[in-house]
Amino acid sequence: MRRVLLPHAISDDPAPAGGVLREYAGQSMGTSWSVRLVAAPAAACDHLQDGLQQQLDSIVAQMSHWEAESDLGRFNRAAAESWQLLPPAFFDVLSYAMGVARDSGGAYDPCAGSLVNLWGFGPYGRFDQPDFVPPSADEVTVARAQLAARPVQLERNGRRALQPGGVQLDLSAVAKGYSVDRLSWYLKTQGFAHHLVEVGGELRGAGVKPDGQPWWVMLEQVTDIAPGVAAPDELVLALHGLAVATSGDYRRYFEIHGQRYSHTIDPRSGMPIANDLASVTVVHAQCMAADAWSTALTVLGSRDGLQLAELQGLAARFVVRQADGSFTEYLSSHLRSMLDE
């Protein structure tokens, strides 16, 4: 079954007369990116490929936990009790992420990189290395205690952050969404208001296609479906002034002795999540917000996650995996209000 989601607000700004579709693509952040845009017939577009890549390269240089010489890498190595001046974009993304950490009761925490690293999902000590061993309960307890005892502090006026000692920032659950927003912003500054941006499966659409249709996208589907089990219903979204991000238990994980370990870590317990959620999708005006909140809601699980989505006014879809392998879907009231029924 296929259902349609429509935005609450529709802009009447038409695509350029005689506009043509142009496409750009590349690699960044360990994944691919792509852009489709509507350009007037005589529009100068030759600079866009390099311009888009430069935007992404700038984000990597600031926020990558894989690049040792990134601004984030330097913060993670900074001396205890030292205040670090952060570039504007880095500061804004970290500030937003810490706000989601607060509002989610710690279900998401950009300061919990040490836990991510312990479980083999960071830049070193990877789970896919032959000598990897999952952390012991004592190691997890120590990492959680250090995280609680040494909080990062932000100083907005000076655009500084306090490295309390040993904190490992990890913005992987928000930087990709921010990069989508950044590319959309860049295209608008270049005069291309009608576009669809995608980075690693996260998307944001603005305006319409040359034929006046919105950018239609299908919400990401669960992939590991048992034989004979019906897939969740397809939801198609008119991505017009909206962004969408999905977190799922099928994306990244490892198995040892039949035990499956998700790449999504619950900072409150220090353990990979083990709830009933197959995926959580969030639709939002900002992709950074959709990215961060989809992670937080995934950690919370279907019941608490849906409750928080209602409190926060989030448009969210929860796909729950039942014991028999089948799926049940729950929609927040804000997302349900977008259904074309």
Gap between the Cα atoms of 104 and 267, Å rounded: 11
Triad 36, 44, 288: Cα angle to 5°: 40
Instruction: Give the residue with greater pLDDT, 77 vs 273.
Output: 77
* Segment 310-336 mean pLDDT: 93
Q: In the prediction, which pLDDT does 217 show?
A: 96
- pLDDT band at 257; cut points 50, 70, 90: low
Instruction: Look at 41-45, 73-77, 118-122, 226-230 and tell me which has the smallest mean pLDDT.
Output: 226-230
Query: Which sign, positive or negative, has the C-alpha torsion 178, 180, 183, 189?
Result: negative
119 or 161, which is more confident: 161
Write down the residue that tokens 């353990």 correspond to. Answer: 271
Given a cut of 70, whether residue 7 has pLDDT beyond it is yes
Mean pLDDT score, 209-222: 90
Q: Which of 241-250, 268-277, 291-300 has the highest mean pLDDT?
A: 291-300
Span 137-191, pLDDT tens digits: 999 999 999 888 889 999 999 999 999 999 999 999 999 999 999 999 999 999 9
pLDDT at 305: 97
pLDDT band at 5 (very low <50, low <70, confident <90, very high): very high
pLDDT in tens, 23-44: 999 999 989 999 999 999 989 9
Q: What per-residue confidence (pLDDT) applies to 158?
A: 93
CB distance 162 to 83 below 8 Å:
yes
CA dihedral sign, ordered 123, 127, 129, 135: positive
Segment 130-141 mean pLDDT? 89
- Cα 123 from chain centroid? 18
State the Cα–Cα distance between residues 313 and 336, nearest whole angstrom. Answer: 12
Residue 269: pLDDT band (50, 70, 90) is: very high
Work out the pLDDT band at 318, boundaries 50, 70, 90.
Answer: very high
pTM: 0.94
- pLDDT (0 to 100) of residue 123: 83
Query: Contact 282/237 with Cβ under 8 angstroms?
Result: no
Confidence class for position 336, pLDDT limits 50, 70, 90: very high
CA 64: distance to chain centroid? 14
pLDDT-derived band at 250 (thresholds 50, 70, 90) equals low
Nearest to 272 by CA among 135, 78, 110, 150: 135
How confident is the model at residue 134, as a pLDDT? Answer: 87
308 CB burial (10 A radius; 0-12, 13-18, 19+): buried
Neighbour-count burial of 292, counting CB atoms closer than 10 A to its CB (0-12 exposed, 13-18 middle, 19+ buried): buried
